[in-house]
Structures are given as structure tokens and as C-alpha cells.
Amino acid sequence: MSYVEVPGAKVPIRMWADPATVEGSALQQLQNVATLPWIKGLAVMPDVHYGKGATVGSVIAMQGAVCPAAVGVDIGCGMSAVKTSLTANDLPGDLSRLRSRIEQVIPVGRGMHDDPVDPGRLHGFGTAGWEGFWGRFDGIAEAVKFRQERATKQMGTLGSGNHFVEVCTDTTGSVWLMLHSGSRNIGKELAEHHIGIAQKLPHNQGLVDRDLAVFVADTPQMAAYRNDLFWAQEYAKYNRSIMMALLKDVIRKEFKKAKPAFEPEISAHHNYVAEERYDGMDLLVTRKGAIRAGSGDYGIIPGSMGTGSYIVKGLGNEKAFNSASHGAGRRMSRNAAKRRFSTKDLEEQTRGVECRKDSGVVDEIPGAYKPIEQVIDQQRDLVEVVAKLKQVVCVKG
């Protein structure tokens, strides 16, 4: 489908979804965002749903301002994927050992490494810029500096919620590695710190929703936020790169005879800010639950823990600010999913996938998400499909 334009807004709200299927609370959030004085346009992705302040699955373009809640509290959250030389025939019938090995190497949930990962000891990991990155920690908000030890030990860890590590096969039988994670607790604390500051600024006192508080250009508050924002985005990217290096090491050891090789890594943020130019204007574009899909950009659009995912290539649609969806998107809240589904339902919907099937992940059941095929079909003018993947192992936080 192409987009539909939401009527009545002072700036274009272009929606790659059927408005009739979008929850009323999410539609109201979009209208709220459109009232901001700095707004130049919104692009709404097929996986749109209610979020804090701004919807998940929205791309918001502003001039001279940025809204931290339109980035999300997991700054830099995103995906990484790597195609391997292995095929489905190389995989054992029982994948429980492989899942166990991954869980031993990559801490999940609130877990962290006993000692910080030394990237210099990771096979093929590029350490250029690593020392400079940590050197900039001294320049981030004083309120979170005491978290440095935890931040170093959480580097290379998965987290919880909808974060995951997967081993997948594509339609040709090739094996892929894929993971989803962000800036861990340090990114969340930086986001919440700056949202709190923004909400107290005089220019934000008359907003329809206090969670839409913004920083404006050429102010010390904006400069401080941008500094911490871009640092956290880099943290998230390093976090995924280290996890992928650890995952590759597991694969090398478990499939030693096959001597696995790995293609270049595909990596894409989906909670972040970028400086981009549209219609002759320099804009700050926030993607909250959306990926960049400029012409030729590779991206990853995952489904749920039982349905599969897509590797895509962007078509460069400027009406969508060169963006696409970040996943299937939830169709019910976590609490609603827990009320609606049981562990028996989870077992049924994840049949054939080596994964957790206990009550702790019922809120991530495939039935809680929109159908990924429908989400892909709604954005055929935003991306082209490169590969369709189906997970055989899923490690959940």
C-alpha cells in the first residue's frame, strides 16, 4: 500500500497503516505531536502502537528541536544480523545445547559480565575508536556517572523484554545470526534524566502532553542532551557488535568441522536521532521504532519469537523521511497478553523453535504481535525484501 494522510493536522501525518486498525490512544498521540511548534512532518509505520509520549513506529521531523520521548528511553536500540556459510543441514536435530552455549556467553535479563569484555580478545572485532568512546564518558551527565562500572560490565549483554538473540535459516537454507538490543540501563537513565530536565523548561509548560517536552537549538540543555544521546547511540552499536562477536565465537566452536565464515554485518538503530535534510530544510529526525530506509540501506524487520523476520533494502521514499518499520509491532500490551495466553499457547505458537516456553515470556508470545507479513506488505513502497528468515533458536531476555 501507499500512505494515507491523516486529516486535520497542521503538518502532514502520512500513515503506512490503515487508520481504522490503529488504537485510538495512538492516533491521539500522533495528533498531539503534530501540535508542536517545531514539527515539520510525521511518517507513521505499519507497526505503530501506543508509547510513552510519542507512538512506537513513528518518524518525527523537527526543525531546531528534538523531543527525547520521541526517541524512546532505550536510546540506540536496534538490530544486527549476519549471514553465515552454514546451512540448515549443518544444524543438529537437538538445538538445546546451542541455546545453552549462547546463554552462557551472553548475559540476559539484568545479568552482566563478571568483568568487562576486552574487545581486543574478540576474533575480528575492530577496536578503532574504543578508547575514545569510553574517554567521552567523562563528558556525560553528572547524574549517571556513578554508573560507569555497571555500564562497562553490561556492554555485550542482551537485556530483557523483547530483546533476543536468534539463529535463523532463510528460504535457501542458509544460516543467519541475528540479535536485538540497545544501550542497556545507561541509555535508559540518560534518557530519563534529560526528559526530566526538558519537562521543567519554560517553553514546555503549555504542551498538550508533558511527555512531549523538547530541547531547542542553541541552548545548553540541547547541547548536553545531544552529547549524551549520541554517546548512548554509540554504546548501543558497540553493545550489539560485541554480542555478535561473542555469538560468532560460539558458532565457531560448536561447528568447528564446518569452519563457518561470516558475511559483513548488517546493523540498524531503530530508536535514535539523525540530522537529515528534506525540502531544503535541515531537520532533526527521530525514529522511535523505525529504521532508516534510504536508497540501498540494508535493514532488519523482525516478527515475533515464532514467526520469523525479514532482511530488507531501503527504497529511499522521502515521503516517509527515508524510513520503514522496525518490526511487527505489538497488537496488545504485555499485561493483556499475559491475561489472554497461557504457557500451553506459547508452546503451540513456538513449535519448532528452541526457546524458553515458560510463563516469564508469555508476554512475548507471537499472538501478542501483528502479523509480520501484513506489516511488510503495507510498506512495499518503502523497502524491498532481500531475505526471509525463520528462527530455529531464540534466546530471550
Classify residue 341: in a domain, yes or no: no
Q: Is the pLDDT of residue 75 over 80?
A: yes
For every residue of 22-65, which 3-state class applies, written as one string? CCHHHHHHHHHHHCCCCEEEEEEEEEEECCCCCCEEEEEEECCE
Question: Which residue numbers are catalytic?
Answer: 326
**Cβ atoms 379, 46 nearer than 8 A:** yes
Residue 239: the pLDDT is 97
In angstroms, what CA-CA distances link 63 with 3, 181, 235, 280, 281? 23, 29, 26, 11, 8
- What tens digit of pLDDT does each residue of 133-172 get? 999 999 999 999 999 999 999 999 999 989 999 999 999 9
pTM equals 0.95
Classify residue 74: in a domain, yes or no: yes
Domain of 94 in residue numbering reads as: 4-331+369-396
Residue 126: the pLDDT is 84
Classify residue 363: in a domain, yes or no: no
Classify residue 364: in a domain, yes or no: no
Classify residue 84: in a domain, yes or no: yes
How far apart (Å, rounded) are the C-alpha atoms in residues 46 and 281? Answer: 26
- Binding residue numbers: 74, 162-166, 180, 270-271, 302-305, 309, 326-329, 396
Classify residue 355: in a domain, yes or no: no
In angstroms, what CA-CA distances link 126 with 129, 130, 238? 9, 9, 10
How far apart (Å, rounded) are the C-alpha atoms in residues 175 and 84? Answer: 6
The pair phi, psi for residue 218, each rounded to 5°, is: 65, 35
- What tens digit of pLDDT does each residue of 242-295 get? 999 999 999 999 999 999 999 999 999 999 999 999 999 999 999 999 999 999
In angstroms, what CA-CA distances link 311 with 44, 299, 385? 20, 6, 6
**Cβ atoms 290, 58 nearer than 8 A:** yes
Classify residue 113: in a domain, yes or no: yes
- Within 10 angstroms of residue 142's Cβ, the number of other Cβ atoms is 7
**Cβ contacts of 209 within 8 Å, gap of 6 or more:** 29, 32, 53
Classify residue 31: in a domain, yes or no: yes
Count of the separate structural domains present in the chain: 1
Residues in the chain: 397
pLDDT bracket for residue 344 (50, 70, 90): very high
- Binding residue numbers for GMP: 162-166, 270-271, 302-305, 309, 326-329, 396
Q: Looking at residue 258, what DSSP letter applies?
A: G
We report the CATH number of the domain holding residue 30 as 3.90.1860.10
**Cβ atoms 288, 49 nearer than 8 A:** no
